[in-house]
Amino acid sequence: DAGITQSPRHKVTETGTPVTLRCHQTENHRYMYWYRQDPGHGLRLIHYSYGVKDTDKGEVSDGYSVSRSKTEDFLLTLESATSSQTSVYFCAISESPLGQGASYGYTFGSGTRLTVV
Amino acid sequence: QKEVEQNSGPLSVPEGAIASLNCTYSDRGSQSFFWYRQYSGKSPELIMSIYSNGDKEDGRFTAQLNKASQYVSLLIRDSQPSDSATYLCAVNAASGGSYIPTFGRGTSLIVHP
């Protein structure tokens, strides 16, 4: 996806270990988001950021933390991975706070498939 | 709890037909509405956005919004096998001053030759 990359693309980790997923953008967009996608649940917001060091919780934030020290990077950390956190994780960016007349929508990264065993 | 409902499908249509995908939402304060297409194993891709009641056309795609009835739909004319994908509806409403969209679970579309 142009301007937004996620790493790693795939990861298998053991229960109880910490895991950090990275989202990097070159679009200089202010807003960044982390979602997880699971069968039967669709896309659910974990955390989002509206600027450097400005973050807030989403619908399913328990067990996750985020950091944004630079405009271009938004990190998602699973402090102690559990099997319920096995999922596909998507990062998304947007130019503006969606809904304020914005026509931009989201641009999504390619996703990270995380398996916790 | 803001809800966005979509029929999970699959919706199966023959090549060349019109595919009609529907989405209803619960929050009357919703302001912006989006349709994303997601191919299997890929990330969602924005294909349409709409803000005002009525129709918005872009190529073979038409988004329709009816705020009074709280539904938004996507029509795909002259459907092609390459349109086979899951279509996600996303709806924005102000929540505590922030505008965070709620996604539906998606409708799977299959276009058969």
Q: Do the beta carbons of residue A95 and residue A4 sit within 8 Å?
A: no
- Residues of chain A in contact with residue B94, where contact means CB-CB under 8 angstroms, are 99
Q: Which residue of A has its CA nearest to B4?
A: A42
Residues of A in contact with B72 (CB under 8 A): none
Task: Give pLDDT tens digits along chain A (117 positions).
Answer: 469 999 999 999 999 999 999 999 999 988 899 999 998 888 999 999 988 999 999 989 999 999 999 999 999 999 999 999 999 999 999 877 554 444 567 899 999 999 999
Residues of chain B with C-beta less than 8 angstroms from the C-beta of A48? 98, 100
Give per-residue pLDDT as tens, B5-61.
999 889 999 999 999 999 999 988 888 899 999 999 999 999 999 989 999 999 999
Nearest chain B Cα distance for residue A43, angstroms: 6
Across the interface, whether the CB atoms of B43 and A111 are under 8 A apart is answered yes
Residue B25: C-alpha distances to residues A51, B22, B33, B36 (Å): 29, 10, 10, 16
List the single best residue of B3, B42, B49, B99 to mutate versus A (max A Cβ within 10 A).
B99
B51 to each of A48, A86, A111, B93, how far by Cα in Å?
23, 35, 28, 12
Quick one: tokens of A25? 């953008």
Any idea which residue has 């969606």 for tokens? A98
Q: Give the burial string for A70-89 (b: 16+ CB within 10 Å, else e).
A: eebebbbebeebeeebbbbb
